[in-house]
Amino acid sequence: MMPEIKTFHPPKTGAQIAHRIVPADSRFQRPTIKGKFLYVGDEKWSLRGVTYGTFRPQEPRQEEYSPDRAEADFALMAANGINAVRTYTVPPRWLLDSALRHGLRVMVGLPWEQHVAFLDEFDWPAQIEKRLRSGVAGCAGHPALLCYSIGNEIPAPIVRWHGPARVERYLERLYLAAKEEDPGALVTYVNYPTTEYLQLPFLDLVCFNVYLESQTSLDAYLARLQNIAGERPLLMAEIGLDSRRNGEENQARTLDWQIRTTFAAGCAGAFIFSWTDEWHRGGYEIEDWDFGLTTRERKPKQALAAVGKAFAEIPFPPDLPGR
């Protein structure tokens, strides 16, 4: 059962000062790492997550989140066994408060110009770091925070252009910047199979986006990723299937085995891409892909029930003898 949450509003001086959330139950702590897994306090914590957004921006670099919609979304997530949300932009503080009320932890994405030759311009690296620091500072200390992601799938051509070593050094620079702004936080980078060769031993968590529609192929690739992760936790930052092309029944069936295969391979958790079919990218509403567990109007698909059932039964079904 969720602990009682108390919201405190500090005195206003001119502009309103952002309030902070203090959980009444001190056991509601940020996850920590012990070996290959995440823990909350002394209890092992399995991440059962969904991605959230991106949604239409109100202005450049500011994604629009609706408070009422977020509250309803988070309540439905919690009712279906979901305990984590991944955003691709820095959420407002109130969204972290809302997540906390529903027992959700948030993986905060820190977006920047990773799809261009970002190391070629003299002042770009410093500007990117400055914005990243600002994003971390806006979330620093919040108990709903799971971790920060300092990047997501730098394209292979960009990595080849700059050279892996330069990219690795720059990601370490961003990692250290995030740690300076929020020393107690976990920090990761979300990689993908095309650039799996990047050497990033400084990361707290190893995260990959993986889309494989064969259970045998996914199982084999997860074994490979565990070798890359070594002694660190491995998270699937995106898994999923498009229901528009594959049908809702096949989407539900595929997500079921993707989740079970992921946890059977010893992963610390997985994020399903995505919570809703509503998705805004590159200035446009994406209307020809339907990866959501719910429709754009938030009507649950078959996949939501399948995911809820699979999450409830990992790593072992609750009715397993001896449990």
Q: Where are the beta strands (DSSP E) in 41-110?
A: 43-45, 47-52, 57-59, 62-63, 84-87, 105-109
Tell me whether strands 234-239 and 269-272 are parallel, antiparallel or unpaired. parallel
DSSP 313: H
Q: Between vectors from CA 135 to CA 281 and to CA 154, what angle results, nearest 5°? A: 50
**Distance between the two ends of the chain, CA-based, in angstroms?**
20
* Residues forming a β-bridge with 59: 62
User: Looking at residue 16, what is its pLDDT?
Assistant: 30
User: Looking at residue 8, what is its pLDDT?
Assistant: 29
Helix, strand, coil share (%) of the chain residues, nearest 5: 35, 25, 40
Q: Which domains does the chain have, with CATH numbers?
A: 45-313 (3.20.20.80)
User: Looking at residue 11, what is its pLDDT?
Assistant: 31
Residue 236 CA to residue 120 CA, distance in Å, equals 31
User: Looking at residue 26, what is its pLDDT?
Assistant: 39
Residue 309 CA to residue 80 CA, distance in Å, equals 8
Question: What DSSP assignment string belongs to 164-217?
Answer: HHHHHHHHHHHHHHHHHHSTTS-EEEEE-GGGTT---TT-SEEEEE---S-HHH
Q: Where are the beta strands (DSSP E) in 112-155?
A: 145-152
Q: Between vectors from CA 15 to CA 13 and to CA 19, what angle results, nearest 5°? A: 85
Residue 209 CA to residue 19 CA, distance in Å, equals 34
Q: What's at 21, amino acid-wise?
A: I
Residue 65 CA to residue 92 CA, distance in Å, equals 8
User: Looking at residue 280, what is its pLDDT?
Assistant: 78
Tell me whether strands 57-59 and 62-63 are parallel, antiparallel or unpaired. antiparallel
From first to last of its 323 residues, the chain has per-residue pLDDT tens of 333 333 323 333 222 323 334 444 534 689 999 999 999 999 999 999 999 999 987 665 566 888 999 999 999 999 999 999 999 999 999 999 999 999 999 999 999 999 999 999 889 999 999 999 999 999 999 999 999 999 999 999 999 999 999 999 999 999 999 999 999 999 999 999 999 999 999 999 999 999 999 999 999 999 999 999 999 999 999 999 999 999 999 999 999 999 999 999 999 999 999 999 998 776 667 778 899 999 999 999 999 999 999 999 997 655 544 54
Say if residues 315 and 44 touch (Cβ distance below 8 Å): no
DSSP 140: T
